[in-house]
């Protein structure tokens, strides 16, 4: 079996192969697959541009399996691979890093670090910030202690993040396809979301990009949030109506936002998000790099060899 793996990444992802007949061949992620490797049976992707994936979907006619190292498989799913090509995601490889970044963004927006950094650049000691934090009205919005935090998309990343927030005193509720309890936290389903949003202090989105989640956070749902609420997105930018978000921020209907992802990436210089009030933007770095990717790929290859898709982890329904 020939497995194509990204060869120009700053970490080792080449799986250990037990069968001498198997070979892992490196390819350059931003270039089309060379003609001599069109016979590959498996393709591993990591931040591979859509044009390269689309080209691979057309030309790799013998392909049977695509393994993405991204938590969200949306790029692979949108590339046009044949229906019989199995797609599996890297879910679980980014839980710790994305949870850390989400926590950092939550704390940064709640503690108004964007204001402090702006004042630092201007060599200004922002006395107003301290007065707001001490006030009876504003003070409670400066802390996670007692804050009602909603995690929208309560999968493995959300479940890793929830106890970190709870350790700081937050009251965490998840949103998932099925209501109940997960990892010791209450979970509501989509029908229960509107009522939950009305009492949310911090909304954290870990939603994947699918047809169903396109602009899931729209003007109507933004209007349900209290004006003091803050929004953090470490999922996918396509899940947010950015025009509605900018409008809510500009008109004081939302207190702030911290975004690691945007609908168009890189975010265009002319995007209104750059200058929207009380916004923190990081350049899609929450995941950073997949953790234990080599071990994961080794296990996945062994599972594939032992029983195909039936033995793989994280197979995506298509």
For the stretch 172-223, pLDDT in tens is 999 999 999 999 999 999 999 999 999 999 999 999 999 999 999 999 999 9
Phi then psi for residue 17, to 5 deg, are: -110, 125
| pTM flag (> 0.85) | yes
Please tell me whether residue 5 adopts helix, strand or coil conformation. Answer: strand
Number of structural domains the chain divides into: 2
Predicted pLDDT of residue 8: 77
Catalytic residue chosen out of the listed positions 31, 195, 212, 265: 265
Tell whether 236 is covered by a domain. Answer: yes
**Which listed residue (94, 101, 230, 236) is catalytic?**
236
Q: Are residues 102 and 86 in the same domain?
A: no
Q: Tell me, yes or no, whether 9 and 41 share the same domain.
A: yes
Residues 200 and 264 in one domain: yes
Q: Is 284 a catalytic residue?
A: yes
Q: Six-digit token pair at 120?
A: 């630092």
Q: Is the same domain home to 66 and 116?
A: no
Task: Look up residue 94 and give its two tokens.
Answer: 């980014």
Indicate if 117 and 211 belong to the same structural domain. Answer: yes
What CATH number is given to the structural domain containing 171?
A: 3.40.50.720
Examine the domain organization and report whether 180 and 307 are in the same domain. no
**316 occurs within a structural domain:** no
Active site residue 236: yes
pLDDT confidence bin for 12, thresholds 50/70/90: confident
pLDDT band at 233 (very low <50, low <70, confident <90, very high): very high
What range defines the domain where residue 173 resides? 95-281
* β-bridge pairing 180-182 and 185-188: antiparallel
Co-location of 72 and 190 in the same domain: no
**Same domain, residue pair 266 and 118:** yes
What per-residue confidence (pLDDT) applies to 288?
86
Taking phi over 0 as left and psi of -120 to 50 as alpha, with beta for the rest, 112 belongs to left
223 and 153 in one domain? yes
């Amino acid at each position: 079996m020939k497995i194509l793996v990204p060869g120009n990444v700053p970490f080792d992802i080449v799986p250990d192969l037990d069968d001498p007949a198997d070979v892992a061949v490196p390819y350059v992620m931003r270039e089309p697959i060379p003609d001599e490797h069109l016979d590959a049976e498996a393709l591993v992707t990591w931040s591979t541009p859509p044009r390269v994936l689309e080209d691979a979907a057309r030309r790799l006619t013998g392909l049977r399996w695509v393994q993405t190292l991204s938590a969200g498989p949306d790029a692979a799913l949108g590339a046009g691979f044949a229906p019989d090509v199995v797609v599996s995601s890297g879910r679980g490889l980014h839980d710790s890093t994305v949870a850390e970044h989400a926590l950092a963004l939550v704390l940064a927006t709640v503690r108004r670090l964007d204001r402090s950094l702006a004042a630092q650049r201007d060599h200004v000691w922002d006395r107003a910030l301290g007065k707001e934090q001490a006030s009876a009205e504003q003070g409670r919005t400066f802390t996670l202690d007692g804050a009602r935090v909603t995690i929208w998309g309560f999968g493995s990343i959300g479940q890793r993040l929830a106890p970190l927030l709870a350790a700081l005193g937050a009251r965490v509720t998840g949103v998932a396809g099925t209501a109940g309890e997960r990892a010791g936290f209450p979970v509501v389903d989509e029908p229960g979301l509107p009522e939950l949003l009305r009492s949310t202090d911090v909304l954290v989105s870990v939603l994947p990009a699918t047809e169903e989640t396109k602009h899931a956070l729209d003007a109507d749902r933004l209007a349900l949030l209290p004006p003091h609420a803050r929004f953090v997105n470490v999922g996918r930018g396509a899940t947010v109506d950015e025009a509605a978000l900018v409008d809510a921020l500009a008109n004081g209907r939302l207190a702030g936002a911290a975004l690691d992802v945007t609908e168009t990436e890189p975010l265009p210089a002319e995007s209104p998000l750059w200058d929207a009030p009380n916004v923190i933007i990081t350049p899609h770095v929450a995941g950073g790099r997949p953790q234990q990717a080599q071990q994961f790929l080794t296990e996945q290859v062994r599972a594939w060899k032992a029983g195909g898709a039936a033995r793989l982890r994280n197979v995506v329904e298509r």
